[in-house]
Structure 1
Amino acid sequence: RCNFATVNDKDFIIDRRAGRITTEEAKILAEALKDIKLEDAEPIFVSTTEHRGVLVLRGDKLSRKVSDVDLHEVGVRVSKPRPLDDSVEAEHTARVLEEFIIKSRKILQNHPLNKERVIRGLNPANAVLPRGAGTLPNVKPIHEVWNIKAAAIAGGALYKGVAKALGFDIIHVPGATGTVNTNLKAKVQYTIDALKKYDLVFLHIKATDTVSHDKNPVRKKEVIEWISHEITPLVDLIESQGYYLALTADHTTPSEIGEHRGDPVPLAIMGPNVRRDSVEKFDELSCARGGLCRIRGVDLIKILMNYLDKVPLFGE
């Protein structure tokens, strides 16, 4: 994963998101990086949403055991990639990655779009900061594990990519941007339509995380209220057609901190035969006192499959 970022002439990170550069601008910059040649690997850089992108390295003797360049901090020097073990592959990958960072920096620094952004008083997207190196794991698709047909609806490429790797069909929704200006009404309607053909539909909404990173709690409150209103048709399906609805988050992003944290997230499951508890509010503290208590993220799918009668039985 990569961020377009703003770095000053002394190599200090000024803005990890380059002023939340628009998706359209980021794609222009990504196009300028497509011709980068590396000595011992083929780089493929793809811009996704706003400042976000992904870098693929293809070649021999490559490893995911390299350190992050993006350390989720500003006001610090850009960290050089370094091997995380003693293997030849890790050392080689760190060198290749540094070569890409240096060459991309030269291109971005002199790009007309960035010069124009500076004139407009905006932070230039003059650096690419990679993090979270990995390789595609060998996982069974969801239909082989649970014998269900699943689909995913999301705006961000990351979520669609993970879902695709797990065997979900990806449903593309016009106006689904993965940002606060997404067409949530359309995403909800596409979800309702998809439920006629799929056993499970994953609907991802990014907006709350975005405004949390911006440390804007008032805007976050407004976004939560907006989401609550727009998903009402999904709640109505529970009673009218007997569907199940699970509402949760993949992580916390406190507005005060502006970064991800590992605190427990609220979870609510609604539907036929779901045991009712005394919880009346959807928030972290209220849900923790509910009937589900605190579970691991990997257990959620098992709970949902139990309601769909897809969990194998043991004993008589």
Structure 2
Amino acid sequence: MKGIVFIMDGLGDRPLKELNNQTPLQAANTPNLDKMAKKGINGIMDSIKPGIRPGSDTAHISILGYDPNIVYTGRGPFEACGVGIDIFPGDIAFRCNFSTVNDEFIVTDRRAGRIRDNTSSIISKLNEMKIEEYEDIEIVFKESTGHRAVLVLRGEGLSDKVSDADPKIEGKPPKIVVAKDDSAEAKKTADLLNKIVKKSYELIKNHPINLNRVEKNEPPANIIIPRGAGAVPDVEPLNSKYSLNSACIAETGLIMGIARFAGMEIIEVDGATGGVDTNLDNIVDTIMDNVKNSDYDFFLVNIDGADEAGHDGNYKEKLEFIEKVDDIVVSKLLELKDTIIILTADHSTPISVMDHSADPVPIMINGSDIRVDGVNKFNEIDATKGGLLRIRGSDVMDIILDLMGKSPKFGA
């Protein structure tokens, strides 16, 4: 028996007037998700606990059975590991956005028009960066998917106790990074980051890629804005923790980084962008091939497009992406034999909020010998009537291990 935890990132939502007071998932035409719900057991899930607004990072950490209050030091290290940077104790890592600022240093696009191509060329220029006052600190940049990137600082006297440079909204300058405590290390790191932000603009504003984007009336990726500082955490490998042979199929550096920290193998997919334009055919072919033909017995799968549409406040895009996943991916998952599938989200990303919320997400379990509960549709409302009731993300691994026949007996 194999197991899949399939995460549709940011799937959950709230009712919208434009959709007759339905959520995008309720309004979408999803015959395969509904068929899976009808064949399985359903419920709702708080990835951390009720009322806590989770990040994708803390949600996935919890769903994989780790305590985010212990493991999570910040998002940066997971992003860095996810894009293949070797990081070591003492390193401080940050997730970054390629962003756009105007001549007055005001952010006009936090994601540089969701740039997709040629960011590696811009990164090459950024890796020439030297900050005179901090020549002893190694500065390493690496591109991730789309508008995302990673920054790692390596050297003596650094701290992750610093704020973000991301203003979170357009129309403001990058935030001044400040120390979160009174330590000399935090003050040094904050000062260095402020210099890095300014230096990045000087280095890449006239990069040929950006000049070309300006000519085409596209937002240039003319600045790098770091956030999510974190020190390198120490975690027990998933395989030894649960006696599994595990792999991860994901699109973004963040999720791949979490999986790498957990000791999972990473299976990359051509054309996986992390957006609504991702190549779903390649993703589902990769899932099916590995479930059927590889020695892995547990898979974490993450598809990110619904979250991107939620952050953009685009309900049509979110609805259409859900329908595409249903048609292209879920239809094939229904063909799998001897496989337990838990399908859920890591969090809600409501269109009306354009960010994560604490709303619980629907969850369903499909596979042989599952107690069927009578729910006929997969969405945030119908799921509340299911036999799984309301669980937390930290319950997921225990449940799937039991259904896979891998759960150790507790007691005599």
Structure 2 length-normalised TM:
0.72
Amino acid at match of 1:222: E
Question: Does the CA-based 8 Å contact 1:3-1:17 persist in structure 2?
Answer: yes
Shift of 1:11: 2.7
2:227 aligned with 1:227:
no
Shift of 1:2: 0.4
2:150 aligned with 1:57:
no
2:98 aligned with 1:4:
yes
Trace 1:234-313 onto structure 2 (pairs within 5 A): 234-237=333-336, 241-313=337-409
Question: Does the CA-based 8 Å contact 1:41-1:96 persist in structure 2?
Answer: no
Out of 193, 212, 215, the residue aligned to residue 310 of structure 2 is 212
Distance across 1 between alignment mates of 2:357 and 2:364: 20
Distance across 1 between alignment mates of 2:176 and 2:363: 39
Shift of 1:243: 0.9
SS at match of 2:186: helix
> What's 2:223 paired with?
127
Shift of 1:102: 1.4
2:128 aligned with 1:35:
yes
Shift of 1:233: 1.5
Distance across 1 between alignment mates of 2:395 and 2:368: 20
Trace 1:95-106 onto structure 2 (pairs within 5 A): 95-106=191-202
SS at match of 1:244: strand
Shift of 1:200: 0.6
Q: Percent identity between the aligned chains?
A: 42
- Tell me: higher relative CO, structure 1 or 2? Use CA pairs within 8 A at least 6 residues apart: 2
Unmatched 5+ residue regions in structure 1? Answer: none
> What's 1:80 paired with?
176
Shift of 1:138: 0.4
SS at match of 1:295: strand
Bigger drift between 4-13 and 163-172 goes to 4-13
Distance across 2 between alignment mates of 1:307 and 1:245: 10
Shift of 1:208: 1.3
Amino acid at match of 1:296: R
Out of 109, 115, 118, the residue aligned to residue 15 of structure 1 is 109
Distance across 1 between alignment mates of 2:118 and 2:351: 27
2:243 aligned with 1:147:
yes
**Deviations 1:238-282 (Å, cap 9, x if unpaired)?**
xxx221111111121112332222221111111122222232221
Distance across 2 between alignment mates of 1:201 and 1:278: 27
Change (3 A) 1:189 1:117: closer
Distance across 2 between alignment mates of 1:11 and 1:286: 48
Shift of 1:189: 2.0
Shift of 1:109: 1.9
RMSD: 1.6
Question: Does the CA-based 8 Å contact 2:310-2:318 persist in structure 1?
Answer: yes
SS at match of 2:98: strand
Bigger drift between 222-231 and 167-176 goes to 167-176
> What's 2:67 paired with?
none
Bigger drift between 285-294 and 54-63 goes to 285-294
Amino acid at match of 1:112: P
Distance across 2 between alignment mates of 1:72 and 1:149: 39
Amino acid at match of 2:266: I
**Deviations 1:7-38 (Å, cap 9, x if unpaired)?**
2233322111011112x232221111011123
Q: How many correspondences in the alignment?
A: 312
Structure 1 length-normalised TM:
0.93
Question: Does the CA-based 8 Å contact 1:46-1:55 persist in structure 2?
Answer: yes
Question: Does the CA-based 8 Å contact 1:4-1:125 persist in structure 2?
Answer: yes
Distance across 2 between alignment mates of 1:86 and 1:273: 57
Out of 135, 145, 164, the residue aligned to residue 68 of structure 1 is 164
Distance across 2 between alignment mates of 1:230 and 1:315: 44
Write out the 4+ residue segments of structure 1 that deviate beyond 6 Å after TM superposition: none
SS at match of 1:163: helix
Out of 157, 178, 195, the residue aligned to residue 253 of structure 2 is 157
Amino acid at match of 2:335: D
2:208 aligned with 1:112:
yes
Change (3 A) 1:311 1:71: farther
Question: Does the CA-based 8 Å contact 1:235-1:245 persist in structure 2?
Answer: no
Distance across 2 between alignment mates of 1:233 and 1:220: 21
Distance across 1 between alignment mates of 2:175 and 2:306: 29
Out of 301, 306, 316, the residue aligned to residue 203 of structure 1 is 301
Distance across 2 between alignment mates of 1:112 and 1:243: 49
Question: Does the CA-based 8 Å contact 2:167-2:173 persist in structure 1?
Answer: no
Question: Does the CA-based 8 Å contact 1:194-1:201 persist in structure 2?
Answer: no
